[in-house]
Amino acid sequence: MTKLRLVLGDQLNAAHPWFRQPDPDAVVIMMEVRSETDSVVHHAQKVLAIFAAMRAFARALRSAGHRVHYLRIGDAENRQAFGANLDWLAARYRARALERMEADEWRVERLLEEAAAQLGLPTIVVDAAHFVCARAPLAEAFAQRVPRLEIFYRDLRRRHRILLDEQGKPVGGRWNFDAENRARWPGTPPAPAWPWAATDLSSLWQEILAAGVRTLGSPSAEALAWPLTRAQARAGLRAFVEQALPSFGRFQDAMSWDEPLLFHSALSFALNTKMLHPREVIDAALHAFAAGRIDIAACEGFVRQILGWREYIRGVYWGRMPDYARINALAAHRPLPRWYWSGETGMACLRAAIGQSLRLAYAHHIQRLMLTGNFALLAGCDPDAVDAWYLGIYIDAFEWVEMPNTRGMSLYADGGLVASKPYAASASYIGRQSDYCKRCRYDPRRRHGASACPFNALYWAFLVRHETELGANPRMAMPYRSWQRLGEDEREATLGHARTLLDRLDDL
Ligand SMILES: Cc1cc2nc3c(=O)[nH]c(=O)nc-3n(C[C@H](O)[C@H](O)[C@H](O)COP(=O)(O)OP(=O)(O)OC[C@H]3O[C@@H](n4cnc5c(N)ncnc54)[C@H](O)[C@@H]3O)c2cc1C
Ligand code: SF4
């Protein structure tokens, strides 16, 4: 009895139980489809890297003895949608059943449910065998109540006995080393080189172009230096642990004009496509700590990102969808400024972060949160537009992880489910954490006037605009007090300047 086993582009998990040994009754189905390339405009490198990694995965499965039917984007028989392709493949193989893994994205899960219903075959949905927390209980818990990250993370540390001593107490005497992890990078130690060499994908790029797929950003084969196989992903993990992890915690919040990656791992693409398992990444860090190669602040800071934030964000997504995709608690409706698609702005920090994103399909967390996200928050940009931008531009962007980070953490559009206060900041934060301001035409110390840094007036105007929603939040008491301490003339001039800025965002 032939069964079709569907593997999506973000399900490249060689350790999945399906692949332990070849099953003569199973045909693994993989497809490059326009319904996915066109769901938003994606970065050229994201489309390239996902297709190249899918093709490499299919080759590896075939050489391990699995039967694989792979549909390329330009194949004549490709119907360019999951449902239509499954229909004719089921007929072609006289399939009696469909098996698929849980999809990570709500939209894709619905598409696959519809496709299966149309197919009319018995369908089995299995776990993707990737995350630390199983989806159904996680979603159920988060649907009832979204816990604070710290509570959720400590609970997972206890349950999985990670960084605990024999008495069950946190190693190092504390659960959280964030206070040690906020240094500005002074230029030393030198940041490690980008972990991967470039792969020439020019012929794949020609196929994508010939199929008419619209993309953004640079497709440059020289710049396409992302892991496309599990072996490359593992090599990147090893390089990260040896070279970058010792300084990861300390410079986690730092930003640099010259170094796009600093001491971050760039492992999110390999993790989100499931080439790497989160537990093996965590274990690599724990191993380095046990061997005395990294200190507790670096180890805990990194483990928190994967065991804590990544699982937590997934809980918010699956617990709160589909309503989460529509919430807009701060009623923000402005379009994103045009330069989000070109990087051509006089603001050096945003020029660096957006330019780098267009070039590499990557920006690290603080660039996403405190530069592009912070600006969109302060300017009151529409969460739908901001979501689409983040979902398109980053190589690691899949809706389950992109959306709660964008709408929740960055834009406060969920009214505080993810963040206990908005991540809103003026130039003083950006100046403290980076070297951008010295290359900027704006003055980070000024609140108004033509040369004043736009972040400053927009920051204060944001607080004033949202006093109803934020004024009672105890974590916002200090900024509101500081605002009151400014003289009335200063407040008027600042708000007047913010109005001018909001009228001409495209020109900044
Ligand atoms: C507005 C915004 C949008 C984002 N969109 C995405 C996205 O589409 N896809 C995505 O994977 N991450 C997203 N993030 C989270 C985070 O910025 C990226 O995971 C990280 O920058 C990836 O780079 P890295 O692998 O070098 O991470 P590192 O700094 O090396 O961190 C290690 C790993 O921890 C995990 N991680 C860290 N922070 C988070 C977080 N907040 N949420 C989930 N996982 C986290 C990632 O898997 C990451 O690879 C977003 C953050 C913001 C503020
Ligand atoms: S002055 Fe303002 S706009 Fe310019 S780099 Fe600094 S924070 Fe960014």
List, for residues 108-120, the tens digit of each pLDDT value.
Answer: 999 999 999 999 9
278 in the same domain as 162: yes
Pick the last residue of a domain from 126, 144, 160.
126
Q: Which residue out of 257, 374, 378, 436 has the highest number of ligand 2 atoms within 8 Å of its CB and is therefore the one to mutate?
A: 436
Which stretch of DSSP H or E encloses residue 30?
A: strand 26-31
Residue 331 in tokens: 């009623």
Q: Does position 222 have pLDDT exceeding 60, yes or no?
A: no
Could you tell me the two tokens for 51?
Answer: 């297709």
In this structure, the residue with its CA closest to atom 1 of ligand 2 is 444
- Burial (CB count <10 Å: 0-12, 13-18, 19+), residue 212: exposed
Domain count, the chain: 3
Q: Is residue 44 part of a domain?
A: yes
Tens-digit pLDDT profile for residues 404-446: 999 999 999 999 999 999 999 999 999 999 999 999 999 999 9
User: Do 303 and 282 form a contact (C-beta atoms < 8 A)?
Assistant: yes
- Ligand number, closest to the Cα atom of 264: 1
Domain containing residue 21: CATH number: 3.40.50.620
In this structure, the answer to whether residues 101 and 140 fall within a common structural domain is no
Q: Is 20 helix (H, G, I), strand (E, B) or coil?
A: coil
- Residue by residue, DSSP assigns 75-125 as -TT--SSHHHHHHHHHHHTT-SEEEEEPPSSHHHHHHHHHHHHHHTS-EEE
Distance 477 CA to ligand 2 centre (A): 25
410 CB within 6 A, ligand 1: yes
pLDDT tens figures, 54-95 = 999 999 999 999 999 999 999 999 999 999 999 999 999 999
Indicate whether 274 belongs to any domain: yes
- Please check whether residue 193 lies inside any domain of the structure: yes
Please indicate, yes or no, if residue 430 is contained in any of the structural domains: yes
Q: What are phi and psi of 116, to 5 degrees?
A: -65, -40
**DSSP symbol at 244:** I
- Report pTM: 0.96
One domain, residues 185 and 292: yes
Find the domain containing 477 and state its range: 338-507
When computed from its CA atoms, the radius of gyration of the chain, rounded to whole angstroms, is 24
The set of residues, in sequence order, having a beta carbon less than 8 Å from that of 478 and lying 6+ positions away, is none
Quick one: pLDDT at residue 181?
75
Number of residues written out for the chain: 508
Q: Is the dihedral of CA 84, 105, 382, 359 positive or negative?
A: negative
Q: Are residues 342 and 308 located together in one domain of the fold?
A: no
Shared-domain flag, residues 263 and 361:
no
Residue 221's pLDDT is what? 59
Q: How far is the CA of 52 from the centre of ligand 1 (A)?
A: 22
Pocket lining: 442 vs ligand 2, CB cutoff 6 Å: yes
CA geometry: angle at 229 spanning 227 and 235, to 5°?
A: 60
Q: Which ligand is nearest to the CA of 251?
A: 1
Q: Which of 72, 95, 126 is the C-terminal boundary of a domain? A: 126
Same domain, 20 and 97: yes
Shared domain check, 152 and 294: yes
Predicted pLDDT at 178: 83
Q: Is 42 in the pocket of ligand 1 (CB under 6 A)?
A: no
**DSSP β-bridge partners for residue 68:** 28
How many Å lie between the centroid of ligand 2 and the Cα of residue 350? 8
Distance between CA atoms of residues 349 and 294, nearest Å: 31
Strand order in the sheet with 3-6: 67-71, 26-31, 3-6, 97-101, 123-126
Residue 325 lies in a domain: no
Indicate if ligand 2 lies below 6 Å from the C-beta of 427.
yes
Q: Is the pLDDT of residue 247 over 80?
A: yes
Q: Kindly state whether residue 164 falls inside one of the protein's structural domains.
A: yes
Q: Is the pLDDT of residue 223 over 70?
A: no
